[in-house]
Amino acid sequence: VEGDLVFARTGASTGKTYLYNRKDGEMVFAGFLIRTKVNSKKLNPAYLFYHTRTAAYWNWVVLMSTRSGQPGINGTEYAQMPLLLPPIEEQNAIAEILTDMDNEIAALEQKRAKYQLLKQGMMQELLTGKKRLT
């Protein structure tokens, strides 16, 4: 469902998250993931997702998942995760700004990839002598 967030609970990927987007198509999740549905009147799912990208979150993950054997965090522990919770209007604004920035970064990366291919083509032409500079 749009806005569902999954948390990896065990292994090397402990703490990694994914925020579902309909554009990604239909998906299923495995037993090593914890699916989270939030009350969107109190918590913006994107705000929570961006929180999982912060140093504070990853410090908490390291602290919680450090145990002998396989690292892991269970659902009860995730439910107790510290989270600054501003009013929903502020969460929405923060999530919108960060989403817009992610979209801009993706567009720039796509543009960079296009220029990289163009450069490779130009190098091929120039370095094989197919094209000469005058």
**Phi and psi at residue 126, in whole multiples of 5°?**
-75, -45
Model pLDDT for residues 67-112, shown as the tens digit of each residue? 767 889 999 999 999 999 999 999 999 999 999 999 999 999 999 9
**Tens digit of each residue's pLDDT (9 = 90 or more) over 13-23:** 999 999 998 88
117 pLDDT exceeds 70?
Answer: yes
- What DSSP state is assigned to residue 46? H
Return the SS3 of 32.
coil
Task: Give the predicted TM-score (pTM) of the model.
Answer: 0.82
Find the farthest-apart pair of alpha carbons in the chain and give their distance in angstroms, rounded: 70
* DSSP-assigned letter for residue 12: G
* pLDDT in the model for residue 42: 95
User: What is the β-pairing status of strands 33-36 and 17-19?
Assistant: unpaired
Cα 76 to the center of its chain, rounded Å: 22
Scan for tokens 């892991």, then name that residue: 72
